[in-house]
């Protein structure tokens, strides 16, 4: 029986969620599996990977072949690097302590990179939110200024119209006078 480390799709349409499993290569993608060794959620940024490194390493040592995507996940989490170091220990090129030290240094470096990415994404989100708020404030101030200008224009217009309204009333008696004079004749 040929064992593969592969992904099993779960989740709804457009929002996939994967289980990382060890399965017989002849079984269907979402079918029967031997052991579940982790999960992978590509919907988050960075992607969330929960993996039992010891189980994955054991399966790889026993000859399980990962699919391309599973290989990328195992490489990202350092399982393949750990397998490489263990092969060096078996050949006598490294001692177990040296292999463990190399693994620990790699793991801390990788964790630092992931945390730096999370920090950068959070900082970018804060900056974009602050920029949007600043833009919204400027738009609101512009609207307020235009409303104030419109109110001032509206209040200035009745003052100008009032003398104009009085002027026709002053002209009206003059217009009536000729008709009164015409009536007197």
| Global pTM value | 0.66
127-179 confidence digits (pLDDT tens):
999 999 999 999 999 999 899 888 888 887 655 555 555 555 555 555 555 55
Domain-embedded: residue 66: yes
Domain-embedded: residue 19: yes
Q: What is the pLDDT of residue 153?
A: 85
Residue with the larger pLDDT of the pair 50 and 178? 50
CATH of the domain at 55: 3.30.1320.10
Domain boundaries, position 44: 3-94
Domain-embedded: residue 90: yes
Mode of pairing for the β-strands spanning 15-24 and 35-41: antiparallel
Instruction: Return all residues near 3 (Cβ < 8 A) that are at least 6 apart.
Output: 22, 23, 24, 25, 34, 59, 62, 63, 64, 65
- The alpha-helical segments, DSSP class H, found in the chain are 53-61, 68-77, 79-91, 96-184
23-39 confidence digits (pLDDT tens):
998 888 888 889 999 99
Report the distance separating Cα 148 and Cα 30, nearest Å.
Answer: 65
Domain-embedded: residue 117: no
Domain-embedded: residue 80: yes
The count of domains in the chain is: 1
Q: What is the pLDDT of residue 178?
A: 57
Tell me the average pLDDT of the chain: 85
Domain-embedded: residue 116: no
Beta bridge partners of 17: 10
Residue length of the chain = 185
Domain-embedded: residue 122: no
């Amino acid at each position: 029986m040929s064992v593969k480390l592969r992904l099993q799709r779960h989740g709804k349409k457009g929002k996939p969620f994967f289980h990382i499993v060890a399965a017989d290569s002849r079984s269907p993608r979402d079918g029967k599996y031997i052991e579940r060794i982790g999960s992978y959620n590509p919907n988050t940024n960075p992607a969330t990977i929960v993996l039992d490194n010891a189980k994955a390493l054991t399966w790889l040592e026993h000859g399980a072949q990962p699919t391309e995507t599973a290989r990328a996940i195992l490489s990202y989490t350092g399982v393949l690097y750990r397998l490489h170091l263990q092969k060096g220990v078996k050949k006598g090129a490294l001692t177990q302590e040296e292999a463990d030290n190399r693994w620990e240094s790699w793991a801390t470096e990788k964790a630092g990179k992931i945390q730096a990415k999370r920090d950068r994404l959070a900082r970018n989100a804060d900056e974009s939110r602050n920029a949007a708020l600043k833009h919204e404030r400027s738009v609101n101030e512009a609207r307020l200024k235009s409303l104030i200008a419109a109110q001032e224009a509206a209040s200035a217009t009745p003052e100008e119209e009032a003398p104009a309204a009085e002027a026709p009333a002053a002209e009206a008696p003059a217009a009536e006078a000729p008709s009164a004079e015409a009536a007197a004749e």
